[in-house]
Amino acid sequence: MAGPALPEPVRHAVTSEINATAASLLGFLHDGPLTGWDLVARAEQTMGPFWSLTKSQVYRELAYMAENGLVTPGVTGRREARPYTITDAGRAAFAEWAARGPGEGTIRLPLLLFVTLGRHLEPGLLRSVLVEQRTHQTKLLKEYLAMRQALGDGEGDPVDPHVLATLEYGITVARATLRWIDRLPPEIRG
């Protein structure tokens, strides 16, 4: 009974879909070549906390994408900087990712976990955490407002409304969070 070998399951059968991390890098590369370092900075500057990204991930995805022809590494310039350029295949992969729509996203807020489980925490702990959080959100909001101000003052290039819209989201959420903290009942806020 020499049966046929079990077939290897075929992965990535058609197009080897890229993940959201790679897609975000390709998105930024539409504006021109950038190094891994630049990409980390760009993500941080334009998306703040709403798109977390570490340099390890970035270098890994860049290497993967270079292997697959989605980007091409350039010659190293100043210091060891190696700029990557998006290719037509890269643009196609990005468009394909975009066509699938944004998925659900991931949110994990330990702060909310603290609040939810508040009755099992030592009294005072939750309060001090909320005080810290208030300070943090206030600082964040201030920074966002300063950024908007700087973009508004026609400093150099015209502002992309999409980038501004993302900044507005940050402002909106920071304000909402502050209001929420301030309206928490006294049993919780102390």
Partner DNA sequence: TCATGCATGTAAGAGGTTACATGATTCG
Partner DNA sequence: CGAATCATGTAACCTCTTACATGCATGA
The residues of the shown chain that bind DNA, judged by CB under 7 A, are 11, 19-21, 35-38, 52-57, 59-60, 62-63, 78-83, 106, 108
Nearer to a second copy, 3 or 186 (CB): 186
Residue 36 touches which member of DNA, a second copy, none, C-beta under 5-8 Å by kind = DNA
Backbone angles phi, psi at 24, to 5 degrees: -65, -40
Within 8 A by CB and 6+ apart from 80, the residues are none
Nearer to a second copy, 63 or 171 (CB): 171
Length of the chain: 190
The residue to which tokens 């959201």 are assigned: 20
Please state, in angstroms and rounded to a whole number, the distance separating the CA atoms of residues 92 and 65. Answer: 13
Q: In the complex, which residues of this chain contact a second copy (CB under 8 A)?
A: 20, 23-24, 27-28, 30, 46-47, 49-52, 94-95, 98-99, 101-122, 125, 129, 132, 160-163, 165-166, 168-169, 172-173, 175-177, 179-180, 183-185, 187-188
Write the DSSP symbol of residue 189.
H
